[in-house]
Structure 1
Amino acid sequence: MTTQPDVTVRPATPTDRPTIERLWLLFRHDLSEFGGQLPSPDGTFRRERLEAAFSGDADWAAYLFTVGERPVGFAFVRAVGQPTRVLNSFFVVRGVRRTGIGLWAVREVVARHPGAWEIAFQENNAKAVRFWRRVAEELAPGEWGEERRPVPERPDLAPDNWISFRYPNP
């Protein structure tokens, strides 16, 4: 059994946007290691998902993770009103990784949107591979699947791995 870490997972508000924008840069920087993406000339990275999460579209939900008053991560969920939700973006700052906060946060986010879920990650990111397989096994023991899918409209990129499960597990 996982003990609750000292973390709050809550829906992000418009006033949280500047904080999440700064966390977004850290997230995209971490991911650039696995896809070779470089920042734009102004030092930022692509932000379509960030924009969508704060667009007001009811099919998106953004969450902020905090320890006390300190931001430690975020999650974006898309397809909230669809039969299968997608954990579109998930990030925990390095200073709290391997403390249980990531697992706790993903459990909290998924529990807010019961049903079928999909999560994509890159196979060459060994830490993400271990983390997401552990998440799937903890949330849907023995009842999850994994497959590789091409990245739409990006034949230059390696296929993503997709984990799928149902929560709560019937």
Structure 2
Amino acid sequence: MKVELKQVTADEKEILKNLLEKYDYEFSQWDQRDVNKLGLYGYEYLDYYWTEDKRWAYFILVDEKLAGFAMVINLPEVDDRPTDFQMAEFFVMYKYRRSGVGKEAFFKVLDNHKGRWQLKRHPANLASVHFWNNVIHEYTNGQYELVEAYPRTEYDDGTLADVFFFEC
């Protein structure tokens, strides 16, 4: 199984938009977000990935097939800690989960973006909790900080996020 990251071009924005809908649908079980009047979640920051610097969107490909995406920005998740990068969104489709695809894709993202990181997770998304605990611990050799229920990090459902801080 060959895992690759491919930077999303402006011509491929519609493909990423479609995948974001699948991601937001799945995530709505934790953040309780509703669809809009068109039956879509929408992603209000999508165009910024092609109009602003310091935003990177990648497709995750497995054997040249779409398997998910990773979206990185340089804006901090929490404003009282310095950062170079944060994972805005990360999604691996069900077919490719628990096969090492997510880990390999995440490691490739970190290899491409060296610096100080912040990464936020919803504590009720237990698969995500397990995944991020394991991959961040492995990549950093345990050199990270995790703050649970970080102040001012509310999801749409009011839950405070857990936030990882690490360097690579």
Aligned to 1:66: 61
2:166 corresponds to = 165
* Paired-residue identity, %: 24
Q: Tell me the equivalent position of 2:117.
A: 117
CA contact (8 A) 2:57 2:70 kept: yes
1:48-87 alignment runs, 5 A limit: 48-53=44-49, 55-79=50-74, 83-87=83-87
Give the counterpart letter for 1:85 in structure 2.
Answer: F
Residues 72 and 85, structure 2, Cα contact 8 Å, conserved in 1: yes
Deviates most, 151-160 or 14-23: 151-160
**Alpha-carbon distance between aligned partners in 2 of 1:88 and 1:146, rounded to the nearest angstrom:** 17
Measured in 1, the distance between the counterparts of 2:45 and 2:117 equals 18
Give me the whole-angstrom Cα distance separating, in 2, the residues matched to 1:113 and 1:124.
Answer: 28
Alignment size in residue pairs: 161
Which stretches in structure 2 are left out of the alignment for 5+ residues?
A: 76-81
How far residue 58 of structure 1 moved from its aligned partner, in angstroms, is 1.1
AA in 2 matched with 1:35: D
The one-letter amino acid of 1:71's match is L
Question: In 2, distance between residues paired with 1:141 and 1:69?
Answer: 30
2:17 alignment partner, one of 17, 21, 25: 21
Separation in structure 2 between the aligned mates of residue 132 and residue 10 of structure 1, nearest angstrom = 22
Q: Give the conservation status (yes or no) of the 8 Å contact 1:151–1:157.
A: no
When structure 1 is superposed on structure 2, of 157-166 and 44-53 the one drifting more is 44-53
Confirm whether residue 146 of structure 1 aligns to residue 146 of structure 2: yes
In angstroms, what is the RMSD of aligned CA positions?
1.9
Cα pair distance change 1:152/1:144, threshold 3 Å = closer
Q: After superposition, where does 1:95-114 map in structure 2 within 5 Å?
A: 95-114=95-114
Question: What is the deviation of 1:68?
Answer: 3.2
